[in-house]
């Protein structure tokens, strides 16, 4: 497994770097999706399911973590292109780091490219990575109050995936109240309650990804 070590990139403007990466990927017809959530919400499990379901679309994954290469290995075992990025202790990916990882992976032959960002609900929301779409996961065991505590990530996300719905009977999670709280922060966000374990409602999320890719390529 290829592992690259990246520290924060020091450039004049993260936003300019992000815009440059978006333009590069648009010209290549590759849609980069930044996937954010707390640690353990189910990002790698969700991506594994998507990779299996969405074939023959070609998927690449950039796995960002502080240490290890377990997630990139899980993804590579499914036959997708994957690279592990170590962030030198940083709690997020910035645009320069993302561009370096994209170029190291060689993403030009991918349709969809996912960045599994470092697991936490705070810093990843503050940095534009150059992604065409930002999505976040909130899992049922985390509780329906998270939009109240970490509003920025909910505001920055094009889609909120409420995952582990197979566990709804075991946790006091009020789906309606949660959706209402997300709507108040971000009326435009798509909201997909899914279970990556059972596959429940995954097709609505995957259809949205297909549409997002079509739309992205029309803009090129």
Ligand X SMILES: Nc1nc2c(ncn2[C@@H]2O[C@H](COP(=O)(O)OP(=O)(O)O)[C@@H](O)[C@H]2O)c(=O)[nH]1
Binding site for ligand X (CB under 6 A): 37, 39-45, 119, 163-164, 166-167, 195-197
Q: What is the CA radius of gyration of the chain?
A: 16
**69 belongs to the binding site for Mg ion (CB under 5 A):** no
34 binds, among Mg ion, ligand X, none (CB under 5 to 8 A by kind): none
79 binds, among ligand X, Mg ion, none (CB under 5 to 8 A by kind): none
Q: Considering the complex, state which of residue 42 and residue 96 has its C-beta at the smaller distance from ligand X.
A: 42
37 binds, among Mg ion, ligand X, none (CB under 5 to 8 A by kind): ligand X
**44 belongs to the binding site for Mg ion (CB under 5 A):** yes
**165 belongs to the binding site for Mg ion (CB under 5 A):** no
Report the DSSP beta bridge partners of residue 114. 33, 61
Q: How far is the CB of 121 from Mg ion (least distance, A)?
A: 14
Out of 71, 94, 142, 158, the residue judged to bind Mg ion by CB under 5 A: 71
Q: Considering the complex, state which of residue 137 and residue 185 has its C-beta at the smaller distance from Mg ion.
A: 137
- Read off φ and ψ for residue 58, nearest 5 degrees: -95, 125
Q: Considering the complex, state which of residue 2 and residue 170 has its C-beta at the smaller distance from ligand X.
A: 170
Q: Considering the complex, state which of residue 38 and residue 182 has its C-beta at the smaller distance from ligand X.
A: 38
Q: How far is the CB of 45 from ligand X (least distance, A)?
A: 3
Provide the 10 A C-beta neighbour count for residue 219.
7
> Residues with Cβ < 8 Å from 207, sequence gap 6 or more?
none
> Residues with Cβ < 8 Å from 170, sequence gap 6 or more?
141
Q: Considering the complex, state which of residue 14 and residue 41 has its C-beta at the smaller distance from ligand X.
A: 41
166 binds, among Mg ion, ligand X, none (CB under 5 to 8 A by kind): ligand X
Long-range contacts of 86-91 (CB under 8 A, 24+ apart): 86/3, 86/4, 86/5, 86/6, 87/6, 87/7, 87/118, 88/5, 88/6, 88/7, 88/8, 90/7, 90/8, 90/118, 90/123, 91/118, 91/120, 91/122, 91/123, 91/124
- List interacting residues with Mg ion (CB under 5 A): 43-44, 71
């Amino acid at each position: 497994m290829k592992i690259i070590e990246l520290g924060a990139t020091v450039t004049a403007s993260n936003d300019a770097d992000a815009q440059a990466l978006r333009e590069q990927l648009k010209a290549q017809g590759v849609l980069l999706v930044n996937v954010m959530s707390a640690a353990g919400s189910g990002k790698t499990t969700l991506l594994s399911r998507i990779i299996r379901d969405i074939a023959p679309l070609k998927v690449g994954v950039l796995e960002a973590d502080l240490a290890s290469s377990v997630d990139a290995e899980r993804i590579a075992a499914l036959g997708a292109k994957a690279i592990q990025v170590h962030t030198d202790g940083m709690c997020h990916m910035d645009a320069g780091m993302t561009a370096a990882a994209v170029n190291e992976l060689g993403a030009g032959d991918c349709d969809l490219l996912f960045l599994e960002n470092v697991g936490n609900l705070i810093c990843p929301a503050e940095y534009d990575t150059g992604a065409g779409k930002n999505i976040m996961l909130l899992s049922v065991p985390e509780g329906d109050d998270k939009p109240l505590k970490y509003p920025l990530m909910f505001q920055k996300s094009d889609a909120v995936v409420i995952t582990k719905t197979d566990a709804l009977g075991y946790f006091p999670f009020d789906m309606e109240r949660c959706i209402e709280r997300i709507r108040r922060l971000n009326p435009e966000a798509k909201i997909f309650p899914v279970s990556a374990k059972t596959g429940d409602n995954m097709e609505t999320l995957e259809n949205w990804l297909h549409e997002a890719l079509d739309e992205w390529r029309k803009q090129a």
